[in-house]
Amino acid sequence: MGIEFKKQDRIAAFLNPFQNFERTEAKCQIRRDPLTGRSGRLAHFIGIKPPAPDFEKIIEDSEKNCPFCPENVLAITPKFDPDEIPEGRLEKGESVLFPNLLPYDAHSAIAVLCSQHHKRLSEFTPEIFTDAFTNCRNYLDRVIADKNQTYGLITWNYMPAAGSSQMHPHLQVYAGQTPGNFPERLISDGQEYFREHGRPYWEDYLAAETRSMERFVASGDHTTWLTDFVSLSALTDVIAVFPERQTLFDLDDHALEETARILDQVLKYLDEQGVYSLNMAWLPALPGQRGHWLQLRISPRIYMAPHVWCTETPSLVYQYQESFMIWSPEDTAGQLREFIRQASL
């Protein structure tokens, strides 16, 4: 089928000062993504759970003048041009969507997720995500004039470790001609695979992962959930793949509700593991690009050493673009699969 999960073990040896300088061996593993060839490393300190920083004071201070809290969001956030969106802002449930004061494209918006200033990952609900995703999709549907040439993108940076400058949960929404370098490579390599094999890469990929069950997490009527063989996150990415769908506009309300329900379970698992921050992104193609299937990617984020605010983006990651993982995708998938099973009982 053309799907090969390549990995090579490496052994490092040294004299260990914590064991009377006895010779010690530590294993790491180099992996390559089956589609892109992107490399990543599974590090020898597998399983580590860095403690979370104390965010209590930051949360308390940031709430005092938060522009996204209910008492402020309709008073001090910008409004859309009436020629574009006459209502000024879009609302759905607790979600409020308005223009980004610092736009990243011609169409760039912020969607507040909920009214509460801060939530642990376990405190979100499926309804919050369903309403927010629906609000974002409605916005993109109204501002995108040519869906065949424009990508509708949604991202979430939650908490400072993920690059968020506001503690209050909110999404970023963009409509533009470029999907970003990483999605562009997935789309390009997926199209090449389609031309060579006559079928989507993701069809073969899901078949291989479902057979092996090594990284399989869950599936529904509209989605298949996996951990990534070569993750972007040090704590292993969780991916939802939407078979034969390319864009958010291909998803009906039932698909969004299923996505929100399983996403909620994933976040509850991550919270139980001590995760407090994440990046999330929808990775679409354009209509007709059958080589790519729509995905939702969740990347947990942490401070490796909270006492010195050490992130997990050193030169290896940021400049070499080489990811490393300290959570095994296989172990994480097994634990998450059992967590979701138990939650469904």
Q: What is the pLDDT of residues 214-266, one digit of tens each?
A: 999 999 999 999 999 999 999 999 999 999 999 999 999 999 999 999 999 99
What is the model's pTM?
A: 0.95
The answer to whether residue 73 scores a pLDDT higher than 70 is: yes
Average pLDDT, stretch 315-330?
Answer: 92
Q: How confident is the model at residue 2 (pLDDT cuts 50, 70, 90)?
A: confident
Q: Report the amino acid identity of residue 195.
A: R
The answer to whether residue 100 scores a pLDDT higher than 90 is: yes
**Predicted local confidence at residue 217, as pLDDT:** 98
**Predicted local confidence at residue 1, as pLDDT:** 53
Q: What is the dihedral of CA 268, 66, 93, 295, to 10 degrees?
A: -50
Neighbours of 236 (CB within 10 A): 26
Residue that the structure tokens 């200033």 belong to: 117
In Å, what is the CA distance from 6 to each residue of 3, 32, 230, 319? 9, 6, 10, 23
CATH superfamily, with its number, for domain 58-312+327-344: HIT-like (3.30.428.10)
Q: Any idea what DSSP says for residue 247?
A: S
- The per-residue DSSP string of 92-125 comes to ETTEEEEE-SS-SSSEEEEEE--SSS---GGG--
Two structure tokens written together for 81: 């041009």
Q: Any idea what DSSP says for residue 267?
A: H
Q: Report the amino acid identity of residue 21.
A: F
In Å, what is the CA distance from 8 to each residue of 29, 31, 36, 316? 6, 7, 17, 18
Alpha-carbon gap, residue 327 to 291, rounded angstroms = 30
